[in-house]
Chain A
Amino acid sequence: MNNESMNLDELYPESDAATKRDLEELANTISQFRSAVHHIAAGEDARPIAWQLEKARLRQRSKQRRVMLEWAVAAALCVAAMVPAVNFYRDHAAAVRAQQQAQFLKQREADTALLDQVTSELSEAVPDSLQPLAEMDSDYANNQATTGESKNGRN
């Protein structure tokens, strides 16, 4: 029983004979897979450590630069995308402001007219308290005069 079989037995503790055989085959295949990976890795030639670290350092620097560049491009794109939006917002805000201004002026005109009307009505002279009596008296005098003339005419 190889190492993989033991590993698989841990995971499938209650398996019947057929499953065990099946698992043993799988373990065998995995063992071959491991050997293959080990062989490929062993085939890689290890260059000097200093060279490897230097290469990694250079790659890290270029990666940092690339990331910065990407952020810069992304920021530029964002700004480019925001310019029309800002313009649209500015135009829209100006239109709304003008509309509000016009509405305010109209409202103020209406208010002024109303105030004028109120003022003019308030400033009208208050009639004399005996005015109705005087009016009645003058009406009576007029009637009398008219009646006298008609009588004279008949005579």
Chain B
Amino acid sequence: MEQIAASELTQLAREQAVLDLADFDEVVRLYRPRVFRFLLASLRDRDAAENLTQDCFLKAYMGRRNFRGDSSLSTWLMKIAMNLVRDHLRSKRMRFWTKTRETALDPIDVSDWVPDGRSSPEAEMIARTEVQHVWKAVSALPAKQREVFVMRFVEEMELKEIADLTGMNPSTVKTHLYRALAAVRETVGSKA
């Protein structure tokens, strides 16, 4: 009985997900910020993030008939975004002769967005510097570690969700996260 109920629920969830996808405007409106944030933090390039966000939704739109609802819509979109990042980085490596446009986000620009509310200008300054260091440290991380770091600490995704998304073992995700954190910690600590 319970099994039937569970399978019915799964079926309902799938139908709901497919229905959600039918209203594509709403899908874009809901998930665009998340996808864009992930791409921005992964690529550190505003234009590239903007373009890949559009590509991500175009791919989702074109492949919406293939979406079976096995995972949540958000996970599906993030998977597309993750694959786009990988393709982008690969093609960037292959196109080493092409000049990249200067739209990369400067760490100083990033630190301008540190929320206010420090007790003193000095504390605010320290906070900004630390954010710059984190940004630089994240930039220097290997692709997989950066991916996992951004998913966990920018998108606040659960380890299991990250594992599903990346196709990695949860313990491997944890290892990548641990190494990424160690690198960030070292950079922030040494610059402090």
List residues of chain A with CB under 8 Å of any chain B CB.
3-4, 7-8, 10-11, 22, 26, 29-30, 32-42, 44, 46, 49, 52-53, 55-57, 59-60
The A contact surface, by secondary structure, is helix
Tell me how far the C-beta of B125 lies from the nearest C-beta in chain A, rounded to whole angstroms. Answer: 13
State in angstroms the CA–CA spacing of A7 and B173 once bound together.
Answer: 13
State in angstroms the CA–CA spacing of A37 and B113 once bound together.
Answer: 8
Say yes or no: B58 contacts A56, CB within 8 Å.
Answer: yes
State in angstroms the CA–CA spacing of A56 and B57 once bound together.
Answer: 9
Interface size counted on chain B using CB atoms at 8 A: 46
Contacts of B33 in A (CB 8 A): 41-42
Tell me how far the C-beta of B106 lies from the nearest C-beta in chain A, rounded to whole angstroms. Answer: 11
Q: Contacts A56-B54, A60-B58: A40 and B24 contacting too (C-beta < 8 A)?
A: no
List residues of chain B with CB under 8 Å of any chain A CB.
24-25, 28-29, 32-33, 36-37, 40-41, 46, 50-51, 53-55, 57-58, 61, 105, 109-111, 113-115, 127, 130-131, 133-135, 138, 152-154, 156, 159, 174, 177-178, 181, 184-185, 188-189
Say yes or no: A40 contacts B153, CB within 8 Å.
Answer: no
Q: Contacts A40-B40, A40-B110: A33 and B54 contacting too (C-beta < 8 A)?
A: no
Tell me how far the C-beta of B31 lies from the nearest C-beta in chain A, rounded to whole angstroms. Answer: 11
Q: Which residue of B lies closest to A7 (CB)?
A: B152
Say yes or no: B37 contacts A35, CB within 8 Å.
Answer: no
Q: Contacts A40-B105, A56-B57: A33 and B32 contacting too (C-beta < 8 A)?
A: no
State in angstroms the CA–CA spacing of A32 and B33 once bound together.
Answer: 18
Q: Which residue of B lies closest to A55 (CB)?
A: B54
Contacts of B138 in A (CB 8 A): 33
Q: Which residue of A lies closest to B61 (CB)?
A: A53
Name which of A38, A56, A57, A59 has the most chain B CB atoms within 10 A of its CB.
Answer: A56
4 smallest CB-CB distances across A and B, nearest first, come from: A56-B58, A56-B54, A39-B113, A36-B113
Say yes or no: B105 contacts A32, CB within 8 Å.
Answer: no
Q: List 17 A-B contacts (CB under 8 A).
A: A4-B153, A26-B188, A29-B134, A32-B130, A33-B153, A36-B113, A36-B131, A36-B135, A37-B41, A37-B110, A40-B109, A44-B36, A44-B46, A46-B28, A46-B29, A56-B55, A59-B55
State in angstroms the CA–CA spacing of A48 and B118 once bound together.
Answer: 37
Q: Contacts A4-B153, A59-B51: A52 and B113 contacting too (C-beta < 8 A)?
A: no
State in angstroms the CA–CA spacing of A67 and B181 once bound together.
Answer: 38
State in angstroms the CA–CA spacing of A33 and B132 once bound together.
Answer: 8
State in angstroms the CA–CA spacing of A34 and B184 once bound together.
Answer: 14
Say yes or no: B135 contacts A35, CB within 8 Å.
Answer: no
Q: Which residue of B lies closest to A38 (CB)?
A: B37
Contacts of B131 in A (CB 8 A): 29, 32-33, 36
